[in-house]
Structure 1
Amino acid sequence: MSCPGVDFVRRPAGATDLVLLAHGGSEHSHADPHRWRPALLRMWPFAVAARAAAPGAAIGLLRYRFRGWNDAGDAAVDLRTVLDELPPVLSRVFLIGHSMGGRAVVAAGDHPRVAGVLGLAPWLPAGEPLTALRPPVTFVHGTDDRMTDPATTMAYAGRLRAAGTPVTTYLVRAEGHAMLRRAPEWNLLVADSVRAALGGSASSDRQASRDVVVEELPAGRHRTSTAAAVGGIAIARLRLPIRSRFRTGR
């Protein structure tokens, strides 16, 4: 892909809000991030959850030029380019990112169009530059994650709080990086965060706009099998075909 862009799975006429989902990737790779990669497919259930939470908003998936972050932070560069060049009518953007996408939405979260950030198992290594994010800001991490480190996520959240930004942080007990063991819980967190950011009311007692140092979600809630979670991803992909595409540099 020569230019970054957005694959829209929903774009109602006159929509001014956009929920933009950024998928994970690799530390170093200039390979093509084709649309059937598991990292991108994993975001489709979150697109379904966002559509239900904000029926008047556009829903889109960020498309990078490369699979990797690379030395230049390519995923964040691509996201900033997209935010700069989106049609002016899309004036308020809520960012949701997983893994490398979580790092990208944090790095680009000070863009004037951004109206909140949700990081799902975000890759926030020690020493990551602090970004002046606007609330709501929420980070969610599984306690069994071996790909990205929950401790560095919580440390970054602590630095944000010290700088005056309220942050909600959740630890999901007995969950790994792919977010498959407790998929319904992740979907609910996404829906609540979208509602909190775009003006709706949350469907549960969790509100993404609160300043919560760490709330740990018990292991016994909303468990599912990996096979069921993978099936849910396939169903979500079929339910939400790509309706239109936006590419930068036009």
Structure 2
Amino acid sequence: MSFPRIDLLVAPADATELILLAHGGEEESREPAGAWRPAILRMWSFVPAARAGAPGAAVGLMRYRYRGWNGADPVADLRAVLDRLPARITRVVLIGHSMGGRAIVAAGNHPLVDGVLALAPWLPDGEPLVQLRGPVVFAHGTADRITDPAQTAAYAKRLRASGVPVALLSVAAENHTMLQRSPDWNALVRDFAAGTSYEPSLDSDHVDPLPHSKHADNAVRGVLDIAKARLSLRVVGRL
């Protein structure tokens, strides 16, 4: 793939809002970001959740040129697709996981962006501060050993100190794959898409727990959610 694109999975003809899902990746890799890699597959179950929260919106998967961060390639790709969106799209909500979480934060000051939900984001120490707009929510599992929830909290604290309200959510007993508590993550995506998520705060150390649903923690359920979405949905357009 020589250029970045958006694969649309939900595309109402009159949609003026786009919910864009940005998947994770690796620190360094120029390999193509293949459609069947686990990082992008993980985002598929969020498509029905986003559609349930915002039934009139288009929902798409971000497709980077490369699998790796490579010094910020996904940010350049994300900005490129945002710059060329059709004029009818007047609002974009970004939802990203891991490397995708880092990318949406870095590109979250784009004029079209009005909402950022970063799931287990990779926000290393010294990450440049970006003045984000719209609701800003960070959620991170306490058992994550791939990206550091403490670094996410530190970035949220810096944002709050700069005057940007942030909702910071702690997801108990969850790891980086976000599979153990899949229904709870789906509910968060749905509510964020609907505009009914957690209220962002300027309190430097405020953290909210992500509530447990009635479902028991079970990674198998999360895998089945992904498989169901992957088999029932198809790409209906590209931007």
Same fold, TM exceeding 0.5? Answer: yes
Match of 2:221 among 220, 228, 231: 228
1:175 aligns with 2:174: yes
How big is each residue's C-alpha offset from its partner over 1:156-208, in whole Å with a ceiling of 9 and x where there is no partner? 00000000011001010000000010000000011111111xxxxx3xxxx33
Could you list the runs of 4 or more consecutive aligned residues of structure 1 that deviate by over 6 angstroms after TM superposition? none
Give distance in 2, aligned partners of 1:218 and 1:10: 28
* TM-score computed with the length of structure 1 as normaliser: 0.91
Indicate the residue corresponding to 1:98 in structure 2: 97
State the match for 2:200 in structure 1: 210
Q: Mean Cα displacement is larger for which, 29-38 or 210-219?
A: 210-219
TM-score when normalising by structure 2: 0.95
User: Per the alignment, do residues 217 and 15 of structure 1 end up closer, same or farther by CA in structure 2, a change over 3 Å counting?
Assistant: closer
**Code of the aligned partner of 2:224:** G
Q: Which segments of 5 or more consecutive residues in structure 1 lack a partner in the other structure?
A: 197-201
Q: 1:174 to 1:12 in 2, by over 3 A?
A: same
Aligned residue number for residue 134 of structure 2: 135
Q: What SS does the aligned partner of 1:129 have? A: coil
CA distance in 1, matches of 2:129, 2:235: 34
Q: 1:157 to 1:227 in 2, by over 3 A?
A: same
**Contact 2:184-2:212 within 8 A present in 1 as well:** no
For residues 127 and 222 of structure 1, the distance between their equivalents in structure 2, rounded to whole angstroms, comes to 38
SS, match of residue 156 in structure 2:
helix
Deviates more, 1:234-243 or 1:167-176: 234-243
Q: Deviations over 1:94-142 (max 9, x none)?
A: 0000000000000000000001100000000000000010120000000
Counterpart amino acid of residue 113 in structure 1: L
Q: Name the count of aligned residue pairs.
A: 236
CA offsets, 1:12-41, max 9 Å, x none?
011100000000000000001111111101
**1:226 positional shift:** 1.6
The answer to whether the 8 A contact 2:184-2:211 is kept is: no
Q: Percent identity?
A: 57
Give the whole-Å Cα distance in 2 for the aligned partners of 1:182 and 1:189.
Answer: 11
Partners of 1:106 and 1:133 within 8 A in 2: yes
Which of 220, 242, 245 lines up with 2:238 in the alignment?
245
Determine the structure 2 residue equivalent to 1:3.
3
Does the 8 Å CA contact 1:17/1:90 hold for their aligned counterparts?
yes
Question: How far apart, CA to CA, are the structure 1 residues paired with 2:211 and 2:191?
Answer: 18
Deviation at 1:77, TM superposition (A): 0.7
Distance across 2 between alignment mates of 1:210 and 1:66: 33
Kept in 2: contact 1:135–1:166 (CA 8 A): no
C-alpha distance after superposition, 1:75-97 (max 9, x if no partner): 11100011101111111000000
Question: 1:231: Cα distance to partner?
Answer: 1.1
Instruction: Give the corresponding residue for 1:199.
Output: none
